[in-house]
A and B are shown apart, each in its own frame.
Chain A
Amino acid sequence: MPNPMPSQTGRTAPAPRSSGRPNQLFRNLNSKIALIPMMLVAAVVFFGGTVWTVIYSFTNSRLLPRASFVGFDQYERLWSASRWIISIQNLLVYGILSLIFSLVVGFVLAALMDQKIRFESAFRTIFLYPFALSFIVTGLVWQWILNPEFGVQGIVRSLGWTSFTFDPLYNPDIVIYGILIAGLWQGTGLVMCLMLAGLRGIDEDIWKAARVDGIPMWRTYLFVVIPMMRPVFITTLVLIGSGIVKLYDLVVAQTSGGPGNASEVPAKYVYDYMFQAQNLGQGFAASTMMLLTVAIIIIPWAYLEFGGKKRG
């Protein structure tokens, strides 16, 4: 059987220099036609679904959507619910810390890996392995590790330190850090791989030049290499960021929001209120708030990043 061939039609023909300016609409017509289904999906499912959700967040829909509008009632209730406030705080703590730690740890690991060490691929595999596990599995594994009876605490106590206490998942004050540990363990490997790829993309000559100039290695990393790796950092940021916002399954597997509601997160609030409480309106209001938060962060950034320069 003939193997499916890489189709020529989908490829971009060597683009003519932009000085030519043929009709923009018909440029790469084939690829545009091929994109139509995807564009339709994006328009109808993503955009349409979003608009629909926002509209229905102003209704008092319970189990089934119902177009009887009640103004901002759902939002008032949302912001007076202590569980929602706790969720937002948790997401902030988790988000900021996981952003900082996964970037720093990921980059340091990558930099160490880049020192032409032995068994590099073995280390790379080890660090990346957790990423192959789903959040549910990760959560269950860490639930056991952090379980006071069977996990770390149990082991240390059996070694003789009987007063040793380490039970983040059962202490409402620090439970979010227990979840953070699991999240970092799972995600840092991927960050490391991306960073490593970025580092490998840096021209060897830059290093040579820096060495000739007598710049210490850490300064070369900090002031030369990192700025050059900007695109990699942006990719990583987007990946980590979306991981933070949709944080749900890890919490469900590790604590299911407990103890009490100390480790609740917004995505879980949305799900619980939409389906368990059979109150779609409330769930929609919560998800609209999530969208708004993301938009507040993304839009100014995107404006700065893409807004100013208009490159044809």
Chain B
Amino acid sequence: MRIRAFAAVLAATAALPFAAQATDLEVTHWWTSGGEAAAVKELATAFDATGNKWIDGAIAGSGSTARPIMISRITGGDPMGATQFNHGRQAEELVQSGLMRDLSDVAEKGKWKDVIKPSSLLDSCTFEGKIYCAPVNIHSWQWLWLSNSAFEKIGVPVPKDWNEFVAAGPKLREAGLQPLALGGQAFQAAGLFDVLLISIGGRELYEKVYQDKDEETAAGPDMAKIFAAADEARKLAKGSNVQDWNQATNLVLSGKAGGQIMGDWAQGEFQQAGQVAGKDYTCLPGLGLNQVLTTGGDAIYFPLLEDEEKSKAQEVLAETIVDPKVQIAFNLKKGSVPVRGDVDLGAANDCMKKGIEIIARGDVAISTDQLVSADSQKQKEDLMSEFFAKESMTPQQAQERFAEIIGSAD
């Protein structure tokens, strides 16, 4: 009897692949926090509605956990149907070595060149005149999220910019609250630093350092100010004792921390928790100082597949992603800005509207992911996570090493 049952199970599992449709498309991504997962579901539903089937390949952890898995699957000859990467250079070599699929036809049909704003997004998808990825959303790092209840508790009005926030730091500490929430993952410290750089130092300094990779500027007095600010942030962030960015966001959500510098994806967490912008929490784009946003974000890349039906499904998915309706549904849940200039986000909340306005005004800069190679980004992450954890490291020492990294960056 046992054997018969066993055989039945075997038969069932063997039959499974035949029962499923041939146009299954596995999509790998690292959208796993509450708000992110809700957004992915919108995308999956829209894709399923086209008669294909979205096979969810979520990889938990941050992008730095997920990307190695994705890349080794593609280079190792087991490509998925489609995969997420950030806008920029993360998939650069995969494209160069011909492992990715050219989407130029789809892009032409959908007039991507005209509708996708800002155009730098499509530029970073382009290699030798061909388009290799479908932009999904625009994310910007330059946001300070503040907990209104925390500031109520200490009897201080909610800060309007970074300087006021720093001034309120000691009071938060006294009240037993964490002034600045910062998780232990390396990308958070590095991201925070870049936000300080562009928000306090301005767009020119940012471009000098990351675009021109000017070692002298990186070692100069303007950058010294940024490192001094980072030193202040380090003191405010001491004692966070959390790892993931959404755990840090949760400290702000629950009023245990005064604020967090994190990209606008944190917005999804507030939304998920049912909090209202302006009432429960406050957002300060550009830390309330220089309102310039970097337009990074996510894009979907499509590995080159031999299976023709799957290749067709890839085209459908690329079209679905850029579709105006899907753009709205996805980005509302995710808290990000659509990649199209021609969709109306009436349902967006105050924070998102601020972001859309700044981007429409053209106060944008190119994200570090697009400007700097993954290798140099990693070196910067190493430096920043060390600097934020090790109090004995002075801002001057950190700046020296930063200048070296910029000098050798590509």
| A interface residues (Cβ-Cβ under 8 A, vs B) | 62-64, 81-83, 147-149, 170, 172, 255-262, 271-279, 282
Contacts and interface: CB of A to CB of B under 8 A. Distances in A.
B241 A149 contact: yes
5 contacts: A63-B93, A83-B382, A260-B385, A260-B386, A260-B387
Contact of A62 (B72, B93, B241, B243): B93
A154 B67 CA distance: 36
B62 to A, nearest CB: 10
A195 to B, nearest CB: 37
B158 interface: no
Contacts of A147: 241
Contact of B379 (A148, A257, A275, A277): A277
A259 B389 contact: yes
B389 A258 contact: yes
Nearest to A271: B68
Contact of B94 (A63, A148, A170, A255): A63
B184 A256 contact: yes
Given A62-B373, A261-B186, 11 more contacts: A62-B375, A83-B386, A256-B243, A258-B184, A259-B389, A262-B390, A274-B68, A276-B68, A277-B378, A278-B71, A278-B374
B185 interface: yes
B379 A261 contact: no
A259 B392 CA distance: 13
Contacts of B93: 62-64, 278
A260 B378 contact: no
Contacts of B382: 81-83, 261
Q: Which 4 A-B pairs have the closest CB atoms?
A: A260-B389, A275-B68, A277-B378, A63-B93
Nearest to B241: A170
Contacts of A149: 241
B28 interface: no
A279 B410 CA distance: 12
B377 interface: yes
B141 interface: no
B385 A278 contact: no
B75 A64 contact: yes
Contacts of A272: 378
A82 to B, nearest CB: 7
A277 B375 CA distance: 4
Contacts of A260: 385-390
Nearest to B183: A258
A172 B387 CA distance: 11
Contacts of B388: 260
A279 B372 CA distance: 13
A272 to B, nearest CB: 7
B119 interface: no
Most buried by A among B68, B379, B382: B382
Interface in B361-397: 373-375, 377-379, 382, 385-390
A278 B389 CA distance: 25
A279 B375 contact: yes
Nearest to B97: A64
Given A261-B382, A277-B374, A63 B71 contact: yes
Given A63-B94, A258-B385, A275 B378 contact: no
B90 to A, nearest CB: 8
A161 B322 CA distance: 59
B184 A282 contact: no
A278 B186 CA distance: 16
Given A170-B241, A259-B184, A275 B67 contact: yes
B64 interface: yes
Interface in B61-108: 64, 67-68, 71-72, 75, 90, 92-94, 97
Most buried by B among A148, A259, A262: A259
A310 to B, nearest CB: 45
A213 B240 CA distance: 64
A257 B185 CA distance: 9
A226 to B, nearest CB: 42
Contacts of A275: 67-68, 71-72
Contacts of B379: 81, 277
A276 B389 contact: no
B385 A148 contact: no
Interface string B283-321: 000000000000000000000000000000000000000
B377 A82 contact: no
A273 B75 CA distance: 17
Nearest to B68: A275
A262 B97 CA distance: 37
Contacts of A81: 379, 382
Nearest to A65: B75
Interface string B169-203: 00000000000000011100000000000000000
A170 B243 CA distance: 11
Contacts of A258: 184, 186, 243, 385, 389
Contacts of B377: 277
A286 to B, nearest CB: 13
A262 B75 contact: no
A149 B239 CA distance: 11
B386 A82 contact: yes
Contacts of A64: 75, 93, 97
Nearest to A281: B375
Contacts of A255: 184
A272 B373 CA distance: 15
